[in-house]
Amino acid sequence: MTTIRVDAAAVAELGVALAETGADLGLLGDPGAERWALGPGDTGPAVEDLLGGWRRVRLALAESLTALGESAVGAGGLYLDTEAGVRRSLGGGSW
């Protein structure tokens, strides 16, 4: 028989860290604002295209990390609630 142990507090802490990482990614500045430093020519538009792709991916990743973090925080809370319910159903003893 397989036994799975879950540390509910660790799951919730992981969720907070993921959400914070997602928020930090979302707040990164737009490096495209520095395009002027490349001067005229083909390089500037090429770099701007590359940075635009990075910005789209970065914002999508930030959104996914935030959603995953919120889900992990919720799951950690549900594990804690479940443990408390099991403890009460078994007579209220502490673990």
Span 2-61, pLDDT tens digits: 888 878 888 889 999 999 999 998 888 766 666 667 777 777 777 777 777 888 888 999
pTM of the model: 0.67
Domain holding 63, by residue range, is: 47-88
61 occurs within a structural domain = yes
62 occurs within a structural domain = yes
* 66 Cβ contact list (under 8 Å, min separation 6): 18, 19, 22, 23, 26
**Domain total of the chain:** 1
Statement: residue 71 has pLDDT above 90:
yes
pLDDT at 91: 82
71 occurs within a structural domain = yes
Of 94 and 38, the one with more pLDDT: 38
36 occurs within a structural domain = no
Give the DSSP H/E element, type plus range, for residue 22: helix 8-27
pLDDT at 62: 93
pLDDT at 64: 95
94 occurs within a structural domain = no
pLDDT at 56: 87
How far apart are alpha carbons 54 and 44 in whole angstroms?
Answer: 15
pLDDT at 51: 77
16 occurs within a structural domain = no
